[in-house]
Amino acid sequence: MSDIRHAAVITGASSGIGLAYAQQLSQRGYDLILVARRKDRLEQLAFTLEEHSRSAVTTIVADLANEADLRRVQGVFSERKDISVLVNNAGVGALGPTSKVDVYSLENLVKVNVLALTTLSKAALSAFKARGHGLLVNIASVIAFGPSATAAAYGGSKAYVLNFSRSVEQEYTEGGITVQTILPGPVKSEFFSASGVAPPGFPEEHFMSADTLVETALRAFDMKERVTFPTLADTASWAEFEGARKKFYKSVLMTGKPAARYALAK
């Protein structure tokens, strides 16, 4: 049996989905590098995980919206040769009508949900390429498909995560590198309170627990799924959607001419 240990970097590990990833990747035998702003939460989690598993846990207290902090986290991918998983999970909602959300919250959302995710994805993929293996997990959301008047920047950021992740997935078709995009529906976590809004008024049973979400996402990974909708019952509907999307994309891509309905009156 090999004694080589692998480490997973998890952003946003201080609560919700990130915390559940930390617990379940620890059960799968990974050492962990946990990133978030709340030092006390990270240290408590590291203590508990080290007590109950073989995982060695490192914490990095970092605000991913802060450039110097982001560079520090980026640096671990060149410093540590044992990292074989990155879970880009940290995210914020800045929910509410855009006219009512302050501009700093919107900018912060772009920095965390888009810029940090992009920077860390690139750092991880470069390291994985050099080592010949690795798993990048990017947490999007089903809202990537649902423009919403109370989540404009959030929905836009998750559409970015989906398209970005699927695009880099196409770059790494050979070798042992995997990109998995997760698109959860509503999950019970601190997400809505962190955004300063009440959770949507869905019935309680419409929220998945963070533990179940992560269990499902890991099972989907084991099944070699690359785009995972944990709540999708009918996989044929995704195949149909993809078929329609490809047909539509082809129809608008390279005709070189305006459509006939835009013909200028002579």
Ligand X SMILES: NC(=O)c1ccc[n+]([C@@H]2O[C@H](COP(=O)([O-])OP(=O)(O)OC[C@H]3O[C@@H](n4cnc5c(N)ncnc54)[C@H](OP(=O)(O)O)[C@@H]3O)[C@@H](O)[C@H]2O)c1
- Enumerate the active-site residues: 154
What's the token pair of residue 171?
């770059």
What's the token pair of residue 166?
């699927």
Mask for 116-155, x = binds ligand X (CB under 6 A): -----------------------x-x--------------
Binding flag, residue 12, ligand X (CB under 6 A): yes
Binders of ligand X: how many residues, by CB under 6 A? 31
CB nearer to ligand X: pick between 83 and 112: 112
C-alpha angle 234-16-14 in degrees, rounded to nearest 5: 150
Min CB(171)–ligand X separation in Å? 22
Q: Which of 9, 16, 86, 156 binds ligand X (CB under 6 A)?
A: 16
Min CB(106)–ligand X separation in Å? 14
Binding flag, residue 24, ligand X (CB under 6 A): no
Q: Which of 112, 127, 136, 151 binds ligand X (CB under 6 A)?
A: 112
Distance from C-alpha of 19 to C-alpha of 9, rounded to nearest angstrom: 12
Beta-bridge partners for 83: 7
The identity of residue 12, as a single letter, is: G
CB nearer to ligand X: pick between 15 and 23: 15
Within a 13 Å sphere around the CA of 133, how many CA atoms are in the beta-carbon half?
A: 7
Give the interface segment with ligand X, choosing from 9-17, 128-136, 217-225, 255-263 (CB under 6 A).
Answer: 9-17
- Sign of the C-alpha dihedral computed for residues 249, 166, 207 and 15 taken in this order: negative
Beta-bridge partners for 137: 87, 180
What's the token pair of residue 131?
């080592």
The identity of residue 217, as a single letter, is: A
Distance from C-alpha of 11 to C-alpha of 166, rounded to nearest angstrom: 20
Q: Which of 9, 25, 83, 91 binds ligand X (CB under 6 A)?
A: 91
Q: Are 44 and 61 in contact (CB under 8 A)?
A: no
Distance from C-alpha of 108 to C-alpha of 87, rounded to nearest angstrom: 20
Binding flag, residue 186, ligand X (CB under 6 A): yes
CB nearer to ligand X: pick between 129 and 145: 145
Min CB(238)–ligand X separation in Å? 17
Which of 17, 44, 39, 63 shows the shortest CA–CA distance to 189?
17
Mask for 202-241, x = binds ligand X (CB under 6 A): --------x-------------------------------
Instruction: Count the Cβ atoms, other than its own, within 10 Å of residue 72.
Output: 15
Q: Which of 5, 28, 38, 219 binds ligand X (CB under 6 A)?
A: 38
Min CB(176)–ligand X separation in Å? 26
Residues found near ligand X in the complex (CB under 6 A): 11-18, 36-38, 41, 62-65, 89-92, 112, 139, 141, 184, 186-187, 189-191, 194, 210
